[in-house]
Amino acid sequence: MSRPLNVDPSSIESGEATRRFVIEGRSFSAARAEPGLHVTATPIGNLADVTLRSLQTLAGVDAILCEDTRVTRKLTTRYGIGTKLEPYHDHNAAKVRPGILDRLQEGAAIALVSDAGTPLVSDPGYKLVHEARDRGIRLHAIPGPSAVLAGLTISGLPSDSFMFAGFLPNRAGDRKRHLAQVADVPATLIFFESAQRIEAALASVAEVMGNRPVAVTRELTKLHEEALTGTAEEVAAAIAVRGGVRGEITLLIGPPDAAAQETDDGDIDAEVLTALRTMSASRAAAHVAEALNLPRKRVYARALALKEASDGGKDA
């Protein structure tokens, strides 16, 4: 692991250390980067995870666009990079983007980074990349760390097909609707979530998707990295016993059971009709969903449809 490098920030800002980077006390020169926008991945926690190409790029561009210059400066200071840091985030993007695009068209080499991981993955930058593409500006992909892939690799969930679905909504109703929209996707689902809301999120997962396997991965690449696995209810209970968890969280939900996907509406209807003789639509849906290992929202939709059809027939 590379040692932190004590570099005077004032010397970096003045440009004394430009076009160079330092690893383990050894200084390396960096050629000027090719003109264009360099979309550059940075570490998600452990600064030693930066790639050699990322260091060469950050040292070789004319400017680095950052979500938060204070965050990116920790990386550039560690590796002795003196490239100018410029803020580019949701609050100033519309104002500064035209000027950035003009500079790129004039031949500037500019890097775009996020606070952690790969830019554009739930971070600012999409409009800049999209408009740069429209203007014919050269785009360069500088790959590296991603919490999405890091979480997937230690989750133990199927990795042959997966879908990143961003952040879950804060409000319970919106969150459940969002989960219902993706419940039938035949892939591992990946979300970003906060430590403060993870228990509420798991409760919504359990209600909408039943007993599917989940993984709560947190503090990826850091000292306290871990993956909590089990059903949503089991993981929520484990977190509650701890009194909560801390850190950045990537939540992964296993795909729907293949056999459950093959269950057609006719089979569901038969079970629901029997249950509706003695239960409300809500209780019938919960009962059948558990019996057939199906998402409650799918069974509840069928229960409501059957109940409405039955009530309509009586009224006629």
> pLDDT by residue (tens digit) across 97-153?
999 999 999 999 999 999 999 999 877 799 999 999 999 999 999 999 999 999 999
Reported as a single tens digit per residue, the pLDDT across 13-35 is: 444 446 999 999 999 999 999 99
Q: Look at residue 82 and tell me whether its pLDDT is greater than 90.
A: yes
CA atoms within 13 A on the CB side of 129: 16
- pLDDT confidence band for 78 (50 / 70 / 90): very high
Q: How many residues does the chain have?
A: 316
Asked if 202 and 236 touch (Cβ cutoff 8 Å), the reply is yes
Quick one: residue 14, left, alpha or beta (phi over 0 = left, psi -120 to 50 = alpha)?
alpha
DSSP 18: T
What is the structure's pLDDT at 99? 98
**Contact in structure between 227 and 195 (CB atoms under 8 Å):** no
Phi, psi of 290 (to 5 degrees): -70, -40
What pLDDT does residue 4 have? 44
Contact in structure between 184 and 212 (CB atoms under 8 Å): no
Q: What percent of the chain has a predicted confidence (pLDDT) above 70?
A: 90
CA distance 83 to 190: 34
pTM: 0.77
**Average per-residue pLDDT for the chain:** 89
Tokens of 15: 């440009």
pLDDT at 14: 41
* 250-268 b/e (C-beta count within 10 Å ≥ 16 → b): bbbbbbbbeebeebeeeeb
Q: What percent of the chain has pLDDT over 90?
A: 73
Give per-residue pLDDT as tens, 49-72. 999 999 999 999 999 999 999 999
Task: Look at strands 84-87 and 63-66 and give their pairing.
Answer: parallel
pLDDT exceeds cutoff 60 at 259: no
**Is residue 194 helix, strand or coil?**
coil
The 10s digit of each residue's pLDDT in 139-165 is 999 999 999 999 999 999 999 999 999
Half-sphere exposure of 210 (CA within 13 A, CB side): 23
